[in-house]
Structure 1
């Protein structure tokens, strides 16, 4: 039996001799590991000492054909069989175990694991992400980019496969979507790795393929005024729910889904408060929002409209009664056409409130964070655990001051002035 350093090119090219049906080649790198070359197939094997009937005997263990295994995998399985035999275990089970693993892989396709992930995934603090977030993840991971992946075992998807998908998005000038896609794939593969569905994560250490503009946009005073004026009631936008939502976003700094999903049961108009239950906030904490005069006016106008329409509904902002407002894209596009300012997002209103409250109104950070229900800085960690003060009076003063600020910005003849706050307000909040 000839000895030969087995290499991938040799395995591919070698053929059975003409004068006999087969030839065995023993590897010089891994003793006892070899390749049997026959007329119709090439098979990896390993010779091991096994314990049978109280005696150690040499046994040939077939690992698999060159179609089933590459050289690297076969060599690893040979070493595993040698170790198992030395421990008195049955090395012949290696092939059976590999077959079982292959069967399991075939069941764990990209599509099946993705669908299971969308149901079972939990994020920070073991919480299920918001429905909107999961819907976006499902939309991205179910796109035509992954059509060829659907029936493939998840374990067979490689780093190159991931990079090819990201390259397509970058070529489409969809760099932000490329980054999001990488993030969602990392979540999926990380979850599968934790569940031992796969043993390696093909997204590991892949850098973001695209560039993104900073999300730290704070609106200028003239831009605030333009947005406010674009939400003025007119014949053209009469009954437009979106304009009221935008103004409440600007005046309260709450999140868009919280405002759009506002329920009458959450409101106490006599006490001028809006209580968001824990299941409707991002940080899962109940949050009380004091309501300023302009916010109350918007809510009261909706109440009057619904009464006139005889519309019975739990929602403040709804057209049909059975569900809250949801027409974001078209409504935002119409508003942008009227406002005519540089590209902005609804979340910029929240960031602008927080920033200008601090810089222009001199409101302390812990009051601002309590006002917008943001847990970081002064309210994060141990400090946040033990400091549960509501700061209700201070928050009410802060939002009243902010409402006055917005009104002066929007109705002043010279809105360019940046210091529009009375010193008495600053002292009251300090």
Structure 2
């Protein structure tokens, strides 16, 4: 800290006209600026160093804070510094907390209206937009609409959805996902939709998600380890390398969980994959090759399936498609045909999440929500193919 304090006087503060910094001591300065020549503007600032970095903290205008008040505010900031707290970061954190509390005090109906106003324009499907609003109006607003967001918990959601759940569980599940998505959006600070998300860069040819039931039915009719490995990869939305390198030690059939170690993951982090009923069935029916640790053994002894085996099977069934493209198909299905939050499908794909808020939300890995997502995906993959008169052309996609 600078030596000597209380160097300025009230008279000196009023007399200061030339742009610059006038030190009062204790790292407190009067800052005089004249941006457009219309006359000096005066404010208080605190200058200090943190971890070798110079910082300047605004303490308000002289019109709002007197010299004595500015000294007191500077003293409080210096105390924080003495305790190892950066006062600028502490102030930002306090503002964030206050903003979050204010947001969570709004009613659920107001929150849902805000969510829809921000997101509806980015949804390409008119039916999807209409269903979002109508299902919330029918099943959520009557009991949750006037409640503050911060007061809504799982018990209240379950009570609100109990009537529809007993009659049409699928509708109840979708409404619950929509309620949870609105609540999470508020907790995250009401972020804007990702710009250009609907125009993702596409590299890997992928089947439209509407064609997956027919493709999977055809795949299930094929025999051999390659067919089962491809089906397993699609059901788990896993990369080819993750699938063919899977070992039995990574699989917990009782817990319905596949834990891929960090060394085998693109992002270098352990990835836990909830297994759907169909994925578990595939594993249970696979033959165990003596002396091999691999779930999908290859032709060579104690070696996994070739990484070309899956691609060759895909190309034989749908010329031009790729194995990796099914991850894009999964992502498109989750975004366009379900109400599962984007962060859940991103976690299922083991994509690196850059946003700090989303990373914090993801610390629990969203296992329960991902388990529901993967079971829904398996349900789509195993349902009876819809009768269509034409085949939608392949389109390039990336995940």
Q: TM-score over 0.5 for the alignment?
A: no
Looking at both structures, which has the greater relative contact order when contacts are Cα pairs under 8 Å and sequence separation is at least 6?
A: 2
